[in-house]
């Protein structure tokens, strides 16, 4: 029992003794370092004892999120975790003399900081502020803060919406040359990519990789040190496929299908114009999305070509309804049109116009025969009249009926001829229509293959 008591007593005394010997706070360290009040010696000059010695700034960047990528203004808004460390040769202490305190937090504006900035920065958006730095006993200062960066980025939208973008974040100083400040990356490309993947927030953009490059650029005969973080991101195209590409494809299919609406009547024309209106709405959306850069996205080219052939097919429809109208007013098809369309074009397209021409020939032959008969028979009653003036009443009546019949027959032949001419116009219209349809399909096919090839590679 007494042994226990003695043990506790000795312990208590020992504890009390140490406490009275070494009680220290962060304030003691700061007091010792002279950073409790504004100290120009610490805030205004680069903290090296020998001016020829450059300060090495180690930086590390982890990409946290792509908040926005504005295709029109070509501006990338990203959120990164930024870490920077450098050595301050004036701020060192011995942890042993301060109860083992090896690092303290100090206010941001109490010490000198390198003037690091992002070269591509367009404006300074509100970033969360971190008011403290950490200072280690060997003088190493660590700064960690999240920053929102709005930077310019040259977008390559040729393959939109299947595009991959590369954007640079270049960290460097504006004032200090390489004799004063050398910026070096803390971790290499694969480490940065790995750590970024772990915290990256999902968005419209998938994170490909982050490349880290460091180099010295020289301008005005001086050298500046910089570190480039090249971010490669890939667009998730699903939204654009659903909202843009699929509707455009369907409209083109509908427009092709409308070529099979009968030529007669104005229905086809009205339908086609409605389709073109729908298509131009899609074009407006596309125009809204993309910027006016030197390369046009292949999707835009596709839409433009589709619009052009849609309009050509509208003109074709107008032309064909005009031809059908002509067939009613001017039954004869001009000879050159007959030769070019019914003979050559129909031959190339392998459309069988032989039926039409043959029936034409038969018709013409029949008409010729009929007219000759009419002529002969028209003469006949006259002869009869001369020969037999004393015909009975019945015979006279019969002759009159015959004449009437002949008149009707002639009329019928005439109208048949007209019909045949009409069907010739129809044939011309049909051949031209098929020609446009084939051109249409060919163009759509070629441009479609081109677009798919461009997207795939």
Beta bridge partners, 132, equal 107
Cβ proximity to ligand NAG: between 194 and 216 the closer is 216
Residue spans of alpha helices (H) in 113-243: 189-199, 238-240
Closest C-alpha among 155, 46, 55, 135 to residue 92 = 135
CB of 83 to ligand NAG, least distance (A): 20
Distance CA 409, CA 375 (A): 12
CB of 116 to ligand NAG, least distance (A): 16
What's phi and psi for 65, nearest 5 deg? Answer: -165, 150
Cβ proximity to ligand NAG: between 186 and 410 the closer is 186
- C-beta separation of 224 from 172 below 8 A: yes
Cβ proximity to ligand NAG: between 52 and 390 the closer is 52
CB of 167 to ligand NAG, least distance (A): 7
CB of 164 to ligand NAG, least distance (A): 13
Beta bridge partners, 103, equal 136
CB of 314 to ligand NAG, least distance (A): 43
Cβ proximity to ligand NAG: between 230 and 357 the closer is 230
Please give the angle made by the CA atoms of 100, 103 and 107, to the nearest 5 degrees: 140
Cα–chain center distance at 238 = 12
Cβ proximity to ligand NAG: between 114 and 303 the closer is 114
The 8-class DSSP code of residue 296 comes to P
Cβ proximity to ligand NAG: between 184 and 362 the closer is 184
Closest C-alpha among 230, 231, 236 to residue 203 = 236
Beta bridge partners, 94, equal none
Question: Other C-beta atoms within 10 Å of 234: how many?
Answer: 14
CB of 341 to ligand NAG, least distance (A): 55
Cβ proximity to ligand NAG: between 105 and 215 the closer is 215
Contact residues toward ligand NAG (CB under 6 A) are 154, 168, 178, 182, 213-216, 225, 228, 230
Cβ proximity to ligand NAG: between 36 and 215 the closer is 215
CB of 226 to ligand NAG, least distance (A): 9
Cβ proximity to ligand NAG: between 110 and 226 the closer is 226
Distance CA 216, CA 108 (A): 28
Q: Is the peptide bond before 161 cis (omega within 30 degrees of 0)?
A: yes
CB of 209 to ligand NAG, least distance (A): 14
Distance CA 380, CA 66 (A): 101
CB of 433 to ligand NAG, least distance (A): 51
Cβ proximity to ligand NAG: between 208 and 278 the closer is 208
CB of 70 to ligand NAG, least distance (A): 15
Contacts of 343 (CB under 8 A, 6+ apart): 353
CB of 336 to ligand NAG, least distance (A): 59
Contacts of 40 (CB under 8 A, 6+ apart): none
- For 308, half-sphere exposure in the C-beta direction (CA atoms, 13 angstrom radius) is 10
Cβ proximity to ligand NAG: between 219 and 335 the closer is 219
Q: Strand, helix or coil at 41?
A: helix
Distance CA 253, CA 262 (A): 17
Closest C-alpha among 64, 108, 81, 85 to residue 183 = 85
Coarse DSSP helix, strand, coil percentages of the chain, rounded to the nearest 5 percent: 55, 20, 25
- For 415, half-sphere exposure in the C-beta direction (CA atoms, 13 angstrom radius) is 5
Distance CA 383, CA 403 (A): 14
CB of 211 to ligand NAG, least distance (A): 8
Cβ proximity to ligand NAG: between 137 and 170 the closer is 170
């Amino acid at each position: 029992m007494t042994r226990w008591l003695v043990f506790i007593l000795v312990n208590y005394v020992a504890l009390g003794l140490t406490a009275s010997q070494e009680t220290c706070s962060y304030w003691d360290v700061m007091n010792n370092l002279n950073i409790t009040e504004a100290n120009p010696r610490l805030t205004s000059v680069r903290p090296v004892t020998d001016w020829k010695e450059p300060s090495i700034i180690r930086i590390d960047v982890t990409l946290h999120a792509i908040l926005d990528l504005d295709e029109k203004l070509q501006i990338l808004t990203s959120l990164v975790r930024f870490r920077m460390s450098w050595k301050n040769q004036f701020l060192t202490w011995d942890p042993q003399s301060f109860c083992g305190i090896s690092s303290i937090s100090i206010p941001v504006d109490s010490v000198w900081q390198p003037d690091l900035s992002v070269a591509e920065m367009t404006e300074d958006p509100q970033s969360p502020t971190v008011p403290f730095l950490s200072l280690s006993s060997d003088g190493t200062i660590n700064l960690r803060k999240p920053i929102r960066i709005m930077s310019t980025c040259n977008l390559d939208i040729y393959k939109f919406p299947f595009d991959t973008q590369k954007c640079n974040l270049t960290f460097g100083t504006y004032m200090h040359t390489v004799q004063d400040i050398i910026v070096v990356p803390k971790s290499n490309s694969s480490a940065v990519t790995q750590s970024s993947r772990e915290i990256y927030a999902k968005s419209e953009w998938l994170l490909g990789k982050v490349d880290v490059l460091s180099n010295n650029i020289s301008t005005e005969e001086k050298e500046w040190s910089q570190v480039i973080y090249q971010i490669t991101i890939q667009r998730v195209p699903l939204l654009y496929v659903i909202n843009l590409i699929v509707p455009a494809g369907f409209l083109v299919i509908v427009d092709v299908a409308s070529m099979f609406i009968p030529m007669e009547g104005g229905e086809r024309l009205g339908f086609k114009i409605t389709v073109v209106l729908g298509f131009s709405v899609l074009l407006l959306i596309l125009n809204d999305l993309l910027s006016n850069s030197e390369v046009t996205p292949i999707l835009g080219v596709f839409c433009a070509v589709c619009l052009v052939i849609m309009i050509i097919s509208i003109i074709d429809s107008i032309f064909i309804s005009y031809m059908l109208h002509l067939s009613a007013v001017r039954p004869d098809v001009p000879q050159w049109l007959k030769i070019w369309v019914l003979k050559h074009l129909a031959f190339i397209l392998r459309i069988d116009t032989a039926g039409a021409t043959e029936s034409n020939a038969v018709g013409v032959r029949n008409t010729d025969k009929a007219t000759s008969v009419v002529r002969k028979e028209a003469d006949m009653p006259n002869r009869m009249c001369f020969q037999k003036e004393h015909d009975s009443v019945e015979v006279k009546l019969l002759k009159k009926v015959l004449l009437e019949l002949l008149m009707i027959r002639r009329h019928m032949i005439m109208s048949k001829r007209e019909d045949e001419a009409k069907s010739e116009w129809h044939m011309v219209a049909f051949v031209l229509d098929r020609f446009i349809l084939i051109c249409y399909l060919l163009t759509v096919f070629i441009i479609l293959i081109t677009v798919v090839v461009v997207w795939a590679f």
